[in-house]
Amino acid sequence: MAEDDVRRLAALERLEEKRRFRTHAVVYVLVNALLVSIWAVQDADGFWPFWTIFGWGLGLAIHGWKAYYQSPITEAEIAREMDRGA
């Protein structure tokens, strides 16, 4: 496989991960808005949607970090790991 093909596949994978994150974020907002709406019409003690918003929000933050800030694995890192395992 040519170097350009490898770079193209890596770029495509990063773009797909960013798209999955954006979908995840939209679902997070919609579901939690629904939960807050249900809470608002109930006569419940305490803000119970907090637990879903907080827990799922942590997962969403990790997904966002992975999609936008985690650097791709380089050939140098692969070679170092292969040498370490030998």
In the chain, where the domains are located = 13-85
**Radius of gyration, CA atoms only, the chain:** 20
pLDDT tens for 39-66 read: 999 988 899 999 999 999 999 999 999 9
pTM over the 0.85 mark: no
In the chain, count of helices (H) and strands (E)?
Answer: 3, 0
Say how far residue 65 (Cα) sits from the centre of its chain.
6
Whole-number percent of the chain with pLDDT over 90: 64
Closest CA to 27 of 51, 56, 49: 56
Q: Residue 36: which pLDDT band, with cuts at 50, 70 and 90?
A: very high
